[in-house]
Structure 1
Amino acid sequence: MKLELGSPPESGDLYEAFINALIIAGAGSGTIKLYSSAVKDFLDFIRKDPRKVTSEDLNKWISSLLNRESKIRGDEVERRRAKSVTVRYYIIAVRRFLKWINVPVKPPIPKIKRREVKALDETQVLKILEACKRIKDKLIIRLLVDTGLRANELLSVLVRDVDINNNMIRVRNTKNGEERVVFFTDETKQMLKKYIKGRNPDDKLFNMTYDALYRKLKRLGKRIGIDLRPHILRHTFATLSLKRGMNVITLQKLLGHKDIKTTQMYTHLVLEDLRNEYLKVMSAK
């Protein structure tokens, strides 16, 4: 996170000063929430002036994070991974805080195993759309597959953010805090026209919570025997876009990735598909 936070105060509440510095520097809401939780957790654990923190303090805190019971939804492997991701981000946040207050202690940052990326093929997408009984459900699926939006980003979109004439949605509430634009197909455009007709511009496009959306997708997937979750549709958009010839730089911008390395993981999926197709054809000789 490349933000200019300035210098810490000589006295006063360092935690509040750090969070205010993040806000003033223009950090995204997600970053502020994460850093607030991480630094508060750390300070509550050490119960001392953070300027007097030692490596031993940090190691004890990290051990406590690793030993806490995970409350993440999902199977055991996914819970462990989600837990290790949270620990990693907490440590990065605290390290940034300590650097800001000029404490020369660097905690070790654990590596995490890359999550298996699951994506649907075009046939599976069509089956899901056919399983939708309501236009709202079908529109949600189409928009997630057309745009690659994260679930929370889609749920933050207002009616006025939708530019029907240009097949475009302006996404203001993003993970990294930077506004971006995504696009949708003409087929989705026709559905959107009917769906938003007469709606108040300041209304949310889909007035529902993340949990409600998650459950809805799980139910739709169950109808056709697929474990469907919001991020799978984002992965699907990315892999289908690359297969149809989109370049990685364009895909990075549409997905809202800060680091192109995050986007490049999808090229591995496409290459894997090509390899499997090649072996299937060549083995048939």
Structure 2
Amino acid sequence: MKLQLGKPDIIIDPFNDFITALTIAGASDNTIRLYSIAIRDFLDFIKKDPRYTTAQDLNKWIMNILSRNTKSKNDNDIEKRRKKAVTARHYIIAVLRFLKWLGIDIKPTLPRVRRREIRALSEEDIKKIDENLRRLKDKLLIHLMLDTGLRSKELLSIKKSDISIEKRYIIVRNTKNGEERIVFFTEDTAKMLAKYIKNLKDTDLLFNMSYHALYRKLKRLGKKIGIDLRPHILRHTFATQAIRKGMPLPVVQKLLGHKDIRTTQIYTHLITEDLQEVYKKVFG
């Protein structure tokens, strides 16, 4: 849902008044944090009342934040640069929203962001996981993410009371866009869940761990069996498998919690690669 910030009659303190408007409009803590950091960065750079911002001020600031990227060609650094470019774009959009709220309508060029390479597990990889992982909690973590495509934050916020093992669904409450949704899981995962929950005591949280603990656990488990295992790879695997098996794109969008179907469409290029492989086998 787009935030309705209105148009202020009187602005005494541009920064604090805008953050107050965001809070009243129902912006999430993450949105408020991002906007605060971005706007503070912009104000520290231009060193003047933002109500007198010019296109030149904005362009100089944009050039400044883009120049903070590293210039190495190393693969890891390329990914870091991509992340920084994404952050820079978010910063610019936040500042543009702030300026528009102030009545300043400047339309600069937004930086192009290189699309992240999408990696997904193969059927062989998933078979490897099942054959090599023995600990119930580890298998359940991975299978829940493979069945649902949940984001890490969503997975780690699930409570026992959010789960219906009988009907095989989970109500996801702590979502990225603040809108509850329902995801489903398979019969095999239901059996694992029932067994796991039976022995879960002293907490209502299904998995009582931090994101960093989850990330490290998956990396360590993957390393043991020779697979690159990370939270977003499991999410990508769910999406690509769902599309490969014929699930309509709007349904995949709903299950993943994407606001815009164009975000879901990034997974279709992997399906195109499948078609190309079949074509090559037939025609050479």
Same fold judged by TM-score > 0.5? Answer: yes
Kindly report which structure 2 residues correspond to 1:186-201, keeping only aligned pairs within 5 A, or say none: 186-197=187-198, 199=200
Alignment of 1:166-181 (within 5 A): 166-181=167-182
Distance 1:274 1:246 in 2: 16
How far did residue 76 of structure 1 move?
1.4
Q: Which moved more, 1:171-180 or 1:144-153?
A: 171-180
Matched residue type, 2:163: V
Distance 2:11 2:279 in 1: 65
2: CA distance between counterparts of 1:200 and 1:102? 55
RMSD between superposed Cα atoms in Å: 1.9
SS in 1 for 2:171: strand
Q: 1: CA distance between counterparts of 2:259 and 2:31?
A: 13
CA distance in structure 1 between the aligned counterparts of 2:10 and 2:59, rounded to whole angstroms: 26
In 1, the alpha carbon distance for the partners of 2:271 and 2:8 equals 47
Secondary structure, in 3 states, of the residue corresponding to 1:75? helix
Counterpart of 1:205?
Answer: 206
Are 1:159 and 1:200, in contact at CA under 8 Å, matched by a contact in 2?
no
Report deviation, 1:120: 1.0
Distance in structure 2 (CA, Å) of the matches to 1:203 and 1:60: 50
1:1-285 equivalent positions in 2, closer than 5 A: 2-8=2-8, 10-68=10-68, 75-197=76-198, 199=200, 203-283=204-284
Alpha-carbon distance in structure 1 between the residues aligned to 2:131 and 2:18: 50
Cα shift at 1:228: 1.7
Distance change (3 Å), C-alpha of 1:38 and 1:139:
same
Give the Cα separation in 1 of the matches to 2:122 and 2:35: 37
User: For 1:59, what is the secondary structure of its paired residue?
Assistant: helix
| Matching residue's letter, 1:266 | Y
Aligned residues: 280
5+ residue gaps in structure 1?
none
Alpha-carbon contact 1:159-1:201 (below 8 Å) kept: no
